[in-house]
Structure 1
Amino acid sequence: MKKVAVFGKPGSGKSTLSKQLAEATGIELHALDSILYQQNGKEVDRECYEDTHNHILTTDTWIIEGFGPLNSQESFNKRLEAADTLIYIDLPYPITYWFVTKRFLKGLFQKPEGWPEGVSVVKGTLESYKVLKLCPMFWNDRFMQRIEKASVNKSLYVIRSIAELNRFVGGHVQ
């Protein structure tokens, strides 16, 4: 476990799991939201994002958390190819909707940990709901088949419950 891609629907616990994994392994964590947004909350231009992302992929170890720009799967595909470990968090939709709502409610009082500077929690929450509504068109059986195909000669972990999510790091990091 040296190059780890963590991905899943909004509100699935990617950030929390990735942080725990980084702490347990000592591998540097790169949250895609932090390279996708400027300090003022605006998206960086695509070239800047791609340069930063591609540079991370060339390093010896990394944990990359997130999906990246919604209108481009290119960086996601590069990550799948470069990673030696794929962690797909595939929690049921009611749980992810609840996690997004819980993050929003907490965010009214304190910015969520790892939330990009300058990005509105309200705006981010609305975007998460919008993406969740569209997810069944993307996060489906065809997507799972694609992930399984991409995981040849890699470790693939699919987390489908909160219990699995909560015990992942303890069960997979020595």
Structure 2
Amino acid sequence: MQRVLVMGSSGSGKSTFARGLSDITGIPTVSIDALFWKPGWVESEREEFQRRMTEAVQQPRWIMDGNFTTHGAGELRRQLADTIIWFDLPRSTCMFGILRRIAGSYGQVRPEMAEGCPEKIDLEFFRYVWTYRQQQRPKLLDYFQGLRADQSLVCFTDRAQADAYLKDLARQQNRASIH
């Protein structure tokens, strides 16, 4: 595992998982949101975002947290990734996740976000998460169709599975460092 995509709905726990995976493996994280957003929640121009993502994916090791399959070097990221972690969680879990996140960090810039993008209440964002399974999930399923046989797709349908995955990986890492 050297180049990992962590994908799924907002509020699913992607960023938390990516940080945990990075802590265990030492592989650096790359937040796609931090590359996309400019201060004040201004979107990057498509070409600028494409350039930033292309530079990031050319690194030898990364854990990328986020989606953007149709632009932002989406095809190149899929081609270079050896592992894709997919959070396929229920809408209720993701909605609760974003509400809890907003309550805990309102007005603050989260570690995985671009400077100048504090947590806020955004009804359009709520709608995006609410309709994610109907509108965005099919796009991810299509994206996954392009994976090769030598790439791993790991799917979590609840957060307990993700937590167990990280605990098991940490145990494996500890055993390997003892020997």
Q: Residues of 2 paired with 1:53 and 1:64: CA distance? A: 10
SS of residue paired to 1:170: helix
CA contact (8 A) 1:106 1:112 kept: no
User: In structure 2, which of residues 137, 140, 148 is the aligned counterpart of residue 139 of structure 1?
Assistant: 137
Residue deviations 1:4-45 (CA, integer Å, cap 9, x gap): 001100101010000011111111110011111223432222
Unaligned runs of 5+ in 2: 174-179
Corresponding residue for residue 14 of structure 2: 14
User: In structure 2, which of residues 107, 111, 126 is the aligned counterpart of residue 129 of structure 1?
Assistant: 126
The offset of 1:2, in angstroms, is 0.2
CA contact (8 A) 1:33 1:68 kept: no
Residue correspondence of structure 1 range 142-161 to structure 2 within 5 A: 143-144=140-141, 146-147=143-144, 149-161=146-158
Q: Residues of 1 paired with 2:22 and 2:124: CA distance? A: 27
Cα gap change, 1:144 to 1:23, in 2 (>3 Å): same
Cα gap change, 1:110 to 1:53, in 2 (>3 Å): closer
- Alpha-carbon RMSD: 2.3
Cα gap change, 1:110 to 1:121, in 2 (>3 Å): closer
* TM-score under structure 2 length normalisation: 0.83
Residue deviations 1:86-106 (CA, integer Å, cap 9, x gap): 000111111001001111111
Report how many aligned residue pairs link the two structures.
Answer: 170
User: In structure 2, which of residues 92, 107, 114 is the aligned counterpart of residue 116 of structure 1?
Assistant: 114
Cα gap change, 1:43 to 1:110, in 2 (>3 Å): closer
Determine which structure has more spread, i.e. the larger CA radius of gyration: 2
